[in-house]
Amino acid sequence: MTTEIVEYEKADFEPGLQREETEYVGKGTKDRSFMSLIGKTKSLYRMGSLSFWMVLFLAIIIPCASFLLLAVSPRLFGQGSQFFTLSNFKAVFNGTTMLALTNSLWVASLAALLGVFCAIPLAWLFHRSDLPFKKVFSAAMWLVLLIPSWIPAIGWERFVNPEGILARIHLWAPWQGNLIMGPFGIVLLLGLRNIPFSYLAISNALSGLGQEFEHSAQVHGASRFQTAKLVVPILFPAILSGLAIGFAEAISDFGVAATLAYSSHFTLATYYIFQEIGNFPPNFPVAAAFSWLVVLAVAVPLYVQAKLSRGRSHQILSGRSRQVVVKRLSAPVKAAVIFCLCLFYFVAVGIPTIGVVSSSLLSDFGSSLHITFINYEKVFTTAGLGAPLERSIEYAAITASITVMVAFVAARKLTKTKGKSAKILDFILLSSVALPGIVFAAGYIFAYNLPFLSKIGINLYQTTTLLVIAYIATSLPTNVRMLFGSVSQVSDSLNNAARVHGAGPVRSWLRAILPPLSRPVVTAWLLAFTAILLELPVSELLYAPGSPPASIAIQDNLGNYHFGIGMAQAVVATFVAFAVVGTVFALYRLIAPRGWRRIGGTARV
């Protein structure tokens, strides 16, 4: 009996699928149903890949390219008389502009390093030790993440200014204001803001790191330092992801640039772009030319990450991974660690919270210490936070759900695909993070408000649909980086084993790939949800008239000198965000199978 063997390209199918086909055909069967399944799988793969690139093209590439193209072709978008010019680039190469860019580069670098430097020990303590109350401390990390950067900046200003809280209780000194209202305070705030991003990326990867690597080192007589030298390189993708996220988030942050940095007369790149856009008349071409410099600046961490990661495999999650045994800490060490953690959370959350909450409890904005709840009463009666907050919750849930699905595909492409396509995808995602939110939103205006789009029936401008698309585009790059470390650890042997045992493509993914990645996926969903709930720059330019989200409602009150009401709205919205985080994690613990929850868990001895 003859055997028909059909060869296919390795890139089109999983290895397990090829083995199934060979075995099946090798038995001499003439049944063509399996070949039909092969063809359908190949078609689905191509359709999925095409859909993925189409999403990137419409949501990221077109808006970003439209705004950047504006720098060299103003007339194409009705912003000048020239179809091609380089004069806008000459305008940005001056002392003030270069100072703003230089400030952003070194501030973002220090903030990224600070975030990773603090995140590594925090991830180890919360996942590998018997530290008391570590679940409480780990949950509190979301407080640092939930609060938009402009709220802590306002809180710190409220705390250290000459008429702030410290002055009211007679503890203020000039050095306090000089320290915080300057480069040190800016790096501190941005670094603290980066810690949750790095912590989530590193902790997800650390959860997948089994005990067998440390045991192997110890069996061969390795010291603690030598064991760390073995383990840290395995976590390299997650650490690099934390650095890349931290740098990109810091260089594109607008909240600190428009509050603390502006008050300190310390110009950053994002605020310079905002000034060019906000001037009357706005100078969009010059803002676009300067945005080119910001995007090119991101090529530095991108190149370093690709250079250090190239040619290395970090697949450690397989069927042989062992549960981790927690490290027992002595009583003095526990006490010292708890003191340091309390100090960290007081600086990262406590001081800004005191500044914001005190403003919401003072009806006269601080001229006395008389506490009142009148602002919170107005929030639920006359301020109208209810409807905007409901919209923001809906927008954030839709955005997070779509973002996680697309981010998983992108992270898998980055870890499994070699060649130029992976490099292009990596550069697109990280470059889009570097674009400030207000610039990203401006790109959507120029891309989707062109007259010819209306002629062909595409009217997305000033609609909720366009706002959600922009939310997805801004959330996607960060979530890809968040999932990158965990996805890179998943060995292909898990999927191959499922396929060998007869599972189809979907079932093998659900039974073999999803369980070890369920916790990182939930974390990524919450990251996207919380980031969108109080997102400001994109909302400011793209929200549908008559349907403002929560951040716009808060900003309207702050801008109209109803500072106490605005701060009360911010406090309520942050509480809602934290409640959603707690609810989702509780549901995961109740609904997820026990085996899923044990992956990346620890055991006591």
Return phi, psi of residue 28, to 5°. 85, 10
What average pLDDT score do residues 153-159 get?
81
Percent of the chain with pLDDT over 70: 71
Burial of 312 (0-12, 13-18, 19+ CB in 10 A): exposed
Tokens of 566: 């605005």
Would you say how long the chain is, in residues? 605
Beta carbons of 125 and 337 less than 8 angstroms apart: yes
Tokens of 100: 């703003």
For the cut 70, the answer to whether the pLDDT of residue 431 exceeds it is no
Beta carbons of 475 and 466 less than 8 angstroms apart: no
* Cα angle value 224/228/231 (rounded, 5°): 135
- The larger pLDDT score, comparing residue 582 to residue 173, is at 582
Structure confidence at residue 422 (pLDDT): 74
Structure confidence at residue 16 (pLDDT): 42
For the cut 50, the answer to whether the pLDDT of residue 75 exceeds it is yes
Beta carbons of 441 and 540 less than 8 angstroms apart: yes
Tokens of 84: 């091609």
Tokens of 499: 């396929």
Return phi, psi of residue 7, to 5°. -95, 140
For the cut 60, the answer to whether the pLDDT of residue 253 exceeds it is yes
Q: What is the dihedral of CA 473, 475, 476, 480, to 10 degrees?
A: 160
Structure confidence at residue 114 (pLDDT): 92
For the cut 90, the answer to whether the pLDDT of residue 107 exceeds it is yes
Dihedral sign (CA 126, 132, 135, 140): negative
Tokens of 245: 């996220």
What average pLDDT score do residues 5-19 get?
39
Domain boundaries, the chain: 32-313+324-603
Task: Quote helix, strand, coil % in the chain, to nearest 5.
Answer: 75, 0, 25
Structure confidence at residue 397 (pLDDT): 92
The answer to whether the bond into 281 is cis (omega within 30° of 0) is yes
Query: Computed over its alpha carbons, how large is the radius of gyration of the chain?
Result: 26
Which residues, including other chains, have CB under 8 Å from residue 71's CB and lie 6 or more apart? 88, 89, 285, 286, 288, 289, 291, 292
Beta carbons of 327 and 136 less than 8 angstroms apart: no
Beta carbons of 563 and 286 less than 8 angstroms apart: no
Structure confidence at residue 574 (pLDDT): 83
- The larger pLDDT score, comparing residue 396 to residue 605, is at 396
pLDDT band at 395 (very low <50, low <70, confident <90, very high): very high
Structure confidence at residue 235 (pLDDT): 72
- Fold assignment, 32-313+324-603: MetI-like fold (1.10.3720)
Residue 134 corresponds to which amino acid?
K
* Total-model pTM: 0.71
What average pLDDT score do residues 51-68 get?
80
**Angle subtended by helix axes 134-146 and 95-128, to nearest 10:** 160
Q: If you search the block for the tokens 């941005």, which residue do you land on?
A: 190
Q: d(Cα 433, Cα 305) in Å, to the nearest integer? A: 15
Residue 591 corresponds to which amino acid?
I
520-563, pLDDT tens digit by residue? 888 888 888 988 888 877 888 888 888 888 888 887 877 676 77
Q: d(Cα 49, Cα 425) in Å, to the nearest integer? A: 12
Tokens of 302: 């991108």
Which residues, including other chains, have CB under 8 Å from residue 242's CB and lie 6 or more apart? 112, 115, 116, 119, 194, 197, 198, 199, 201, 202
Q: d(Cα 268, Cα 290) in Å, to the nearest integer? A: 12
What average pLDDT score do residues 408-428 get?
75
The SS3 call for residue 395 is helix
* CA 194 from centre of chain: 10
Three-state SS string over 193-228 comes to HHHHHHHHHHHHHHHCCCCHHHHHHHHCCCCHHHHH
Beta carbons of 204 and 519 less than 8 angstroms apart: yes
Give first-to-last CA distance, the chain, whole Å.
Answer: 59
Structure confidence at residue 434 (pLDDT): 60
What average pLDDT score do residues 426-441 get?
71
Tokens of 132: 């008391």
Burial of 564 (0-12, 13-18, 19+ CB in 10 A): buried
Q: d(Cα 218, Cα 230) in Å, to the nearest integer? A: 11
For the cut 90, the answer to whether the pLDDT of residue 176 exceeds it is no
Range in 3-17, 334-348, 381-395, 403-417 the model is least confident about: 3-17
CB atoms within 10 A of CB 506: 9
Return phi, psi of residue 14, to 5°. -75, 155
Beta carbons of 149 and 193 less than 8 angstroms apart: yes
> Could you tell me if residue 384 is left (phi over 0), alpha (psi between -120 and 50 degrees) or otherwise beta?
left
Percent of the chain with pLDDT over 90: 5
What average pLDDT score do residues 62-79 get?
82
Instruction: Report H helices in 93-182.
Output: 95-128, 134-146, 150-160, 165-168, 174-180
Which residues, including other chains, have CB under 8 Å from residue 458's CB and lie 6 or more apart? 448
Beta carbons of 521 and 408 less than 8 angstroms apart: yes
Return phi, psi of residue 160, to 5°. -110, 0
Strands (E) in 233-365, as ranges, are 324-325
Task: Report which of 229, 483, 218 is spatially closest to residue 327, judged by C-alpha positions.
Answer: 218
| Residue 317, beta-bridge partner list | 490
Half-sphere exposure of 452 (CA within 13 A, CB side): 4
